[in-house]
């Protein structure tokens, strides 16, 4: 659920605030070697490419998180519920 919420937030920031999010560039997925036919050197180069891609994704996520924070708490929590949903844990309400 939290992953879906993060994905929806990223999509909202990316599409609704495109000019503000323009500095957050999603890295391209590196090409991967074919495991059945690649040499050891090609596999190791692929491992390095994936590690670089993972680091670039962390930078991208941090950039998007910064854009979400810049929108303010009203965008993150418009009803002031602090992540609580009706009937959810800590809400004090019983689920329907």
Give the start-to-end residue ranges of the domains of the chain: 2-76
Query: pTM of the entire structure?
Result: 0.53
Three-state DSSP at 53 gives helix
Structure tokens at 71: 């929108």
Number of helical H runs and strand E runs in the chain: 4, 0
pLDDT in tens, 4-62: 556 556 565 555 555 554 689 999 999 999 999 999 999 999 999 999 999 999 999 99
Tell me, what's the pLDDT at 3? 61
Q: Report d(CA 12, CA 57) in Å as an integer.
A: 18
């Amino acid at each position: 659920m939290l992953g879906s919420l993060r994905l929806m937030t990223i999509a909202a920031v990316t599409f609704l605030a495109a000019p503000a999010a323009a500095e957050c560039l999603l890295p391209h997925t590196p090409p991967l070697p074919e495991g059945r036919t690649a040499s050891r050197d090609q596999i190791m180069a692929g491992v390095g490419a994936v590690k670089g891609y993972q680091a670039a994704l962390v930078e991208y996520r941090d950039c998007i998180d910064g854009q979400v924070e810049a929108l303010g708490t009203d965008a993150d929590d418009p009803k002031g519920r602090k992540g609580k949903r009706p009937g959810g844990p800590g809400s004090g309400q019983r689920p329907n």
